[in-house]
Structure 1
Amino acid sequence: MYFTFRQVQYFVLTAELGTISGAATAARISQSAITESIRQLEEQVGSALFSRHARGIALTYEGHRFLRHAKLIISTVKDAEDAFTAKNDNVAGNLRLGVTNLVAGYFLSDILARFRRVFPEVSVEVVEDHRRYIEHLLISGELQLALMVISNIEEQFALSVDPLMRSRFRVWVSPKNDLADKSRVKSSDLRDQKLILLANEDLLESISGWLQGEELIDQVFLRTTSVEAVRSLVGTNTGVAIMPDLAFRPYTLEGDRLEARPVEGLSVTLDVGLVWRQGSPDTDQAEIFKTVARDYHSKR
């Protein structure tokens, strides 16, 4: 298999913009050049990466899988450039980093991989735990920095917070579910559905009040600590789930498709950011990690 870095760039651009014309405009080349580049790439990987329809194009299951690898390729090349341009020759030492569960699964891996590639002499120890305990470790000085959900931070006067992203909640549905036919869902529509709830501390603290206010708690028929279980159950139309976009993937592990719809009146978000103790001495390791995390988020 052989394909070029340029083909990968055009593929990612097309996937993110959703149209050949949009990708061509952004890349400042002709639409035919984008089309031919994608055709050659599909030929090399042996799978159709896009499905074509009247309104444009959409990623296939194989396209979604390849997109993950394509972004990693681009990220790795960028890191290689940074490794030679950044003044990191003297950066070494240790960094103790705290993370909460959802962040560890859906936000940490790419940032940590990028940091380690560019700053290999910095040893990173990751501590995953509940938000309250991570706050305690930060205040006691046992952690230098945390990458965590910041929506419900309790020790606001003792901790500094730098927001990185805001993830809205939407309802996940199977294409077979009646809600998939709606562009927006009302809370009243959910009263006829079986709700699947992710039993995660950060998520429950964010969404429980809204569920109670809309009298939807009684619709919850299953609670699970597994995001993959939520996806699989929604994918087979066993129920629907109100989840943050942070964790959304358009396919289950079994290959069933998922869709997400906004819910009217649901303004709750799950916010992720960097957290450190106020007044704590700045270390090179922590400051560099902050920069890498901010840079990663700005390019998403």
Structure 2
Amino acid sequence: MLSLRQIRYFIAIAETGSVSAAAQAVHISQSTLTTAIKQLEDSLGAVLFSRHAKGMELTHQGHQFLRQAHLILASVDNARRSLQQSTDDVEGELNIGVTSLVAGYYLADLLARFQKIYHKVKLRVIEDERDYIEHLLVSGEIDVGVMILSNLEYRSALNTEVLTYSHYRLWLPPEHELLELDSIGLNELSDQPLIMLNVDEMEERIRHCWAGSGVRPQVSMRSASVEAVRSLVSAGMGLALMPDMTYRPWSVEGDRVEARRILDISETLDIGLAWRRGGARNPLIDYFLPVARESLPARQAAMG
């Protein structure tokens, strides 16, 4: 049977990358921690860590369980707070960094939810490019980032947690010839004009989806605006490969936009949280993380 203690120990190792550092963080012996993790793996029937000379690294199953482990502790912590502490007692300032694409689709809901619960906390939000937000996180100038995690440069200096995965889909205008196909692959796009989204390093991510396919995208236009891409596609000016989180079936002009999965693309755009690893941190982060864990996946599910 799983215990909350085992889950906390598991998260400690996942965040520190080593048994010794995790044991210090949770104030137990290394042998006790190792035994607890072995019991957890046996109970789950899964290998959560790969062990090597430099420490412990999450396996694919470990990454999957980490998401659930955070949700479990968030639910328990929220239940405890609701019984033990009035949110009126929580005050201070929380500095949040966000990248522009994430800001447009997640930030308002998340901040509104947090502010409704912790209305005495002052929120300060900085929106900028991923590399600058990362710099501010590592230097301690902001407390937590809500951002695309796929391109992080200083991952070893940050704790990260993926909250939702956004698949890529092909946007097409109504009655496009490709809509008649049962399935669409990248080969079918070799002679199609493409409109490229080039905000938040999206062009790099989208081009990465094409890598190894042998097909070279025929980019006819670029735009930093999702709405511009949507309008151009609906007007028949080209197709676009876009993350699912940005999809809406109608342009601002009221024209229809269709979306289809591409067989060759299994990659996802990973959206989540990042905060500095080690050292003192703003205690308000511990109130923000559970709210974020509960709100972002729900929003993504609602978008289908």
Residues 231-250 of structure 1: CA deviation (Å, up to 9, x unaligned): 00111121110000011111
Equivalent in the alignment of 2:284 = 285
Residues 140-159 of structure 1: CA deviation (Å, up to 9, x unaligned): 11011000000111101100
Supply the distance in 1 between the matched residues of 2:254 and 2:229 (Cα, whole angstroms): 14
5+ long unaligned stretches in structure 2: 1-80, 300-304
Shift of residue 206, structure 1, vs aligned partner? 1.5
Equivalent in the alignment of 1:122 = 121
Query: Is the alpha carbon distance of 1:239 and 1:293 closer, same or farther for their aligned partners in structure 2, counting shifts above 3 Å?
Result: same
Larger displacement relative to structure 2 (175-184 or 164-173): 175-184
Task: Spell out the pairing of 1:263-282 with structure 2 (5 A cutoff).
Answer: 263-282=262-281
Equivalent in the alignment of 1:194 = 193
Letter paired with 2:235: T
Letter paired with 1:294: R
Task: Spell out the pairing of 1:103-114 with structure 2 (5 A cutoff).
Answer: 103-114=102-113
Supply the distance in 2 between the matched residues of 1:251 and 1:195 (Cα, whole angstroms): 19
Secondary structure of the residue aligned to 1:255 is coil
Letter paired with 2:162: P
Secondary structure of the residue aligned to 1:136 is helix
Query: Is the alpha carbon distance of 1:85 and 1:176 closer, same or farther for their aligned partners in structure 2, counting shifts above 3 Å?
Result: farther
Aligned residues: 219
* Residue pair 2:231, 2:253 contacting (<8 A) in 1 also: yes
Query: Is the alpha carbon distance of 1:159 and 1:151 closer, same or farther for their aligned partners in structure 2, counting shifts above 3 Å?
Result: same
Shift of residue 218, structure 1, vs aligned partner? 4.9
Equivalent in the alignment of 2:224 = 225
* Residue pair 2:97, 2:127 contacting (<8 A) in 1 also: yes
Shift of residue 117, structure 1, vs aligned partner? 1.8
* Residue pair 1:191, 1:216 contacting (<8 A) in 2 also: yes
Letter paired with 2:166: S
Supply the distance in 2 between the matched residues of 1:258 and 1:85 (Cα, whole angstroms): 49
Residues 152-195 of structure 1: CA deviation (Å, up to 9, x unaligned): 11101100001100101110111221122234211111113110
Equivalent in the alignment of 2:25 = none
Equivalent in the alignment of 1:96 = 95
Query: Is the alpha carbon distance of 1:217 and 1:225 closer, same or farther for their aligned partners in structure 2, counting shifts above 3 Å?
Result: farther
Supply the distance in 2 between the matched residues of 1:100 and 1:193 (Cα, whole angstroms): 30
Equivalent in the alignment of 1:243 = 242
User: Is residue 180 of structure 2 the alignment partner of residue 181 of structure 1?
Assistant: yes
Equivalent in the alignment of 2:170 = 171
Supply the distance in 2 between the matched residues of 1:297 and 1:207 (Cα, whole angstroms): 23
Supply the distance in 2 between the matched residues of 1:183 and 1:258 (Cα, whole angstroms): 18
Letter paired with 1:274: L
Supply the distance in 2 between the matched residues of 1:97 and 1:294 (Cα, whole angstroms): 15
Supply the distance in 2 between the matched residues of 1:99 and 1:183 (Cα, whole angstroms): 38
Supply the distance in 1 between the matched residues of 2:217 and 2:241 (Cα, whole angstroms): 14
TM-align CA RMSD: 2.0
* Residue pair 1:183, 1:261 contacting (<8 A) in 2 also: no
5+ long unaligned stretches in structure 1: 1-81
Q: TM-score, normalised by structure 1?
A: 0.69
Residues 77-125 of structure 1: CA deviation (Å, up to 9, x unaligned): xxxxx99997312111101100011101111111011111221111111
Shift of residue 126, structure 1, vs aligned partner? 0.5
Query: Is the alpha carbon distance of 1:84 and 1:202 closer, same or farther for their aligned partners in structure 2, counting shifts above 3 Å?
Result: farther
Supply the distance in 1 between the matched residues of 2:180 and 2:82 (Cα, whole angstroms): 48
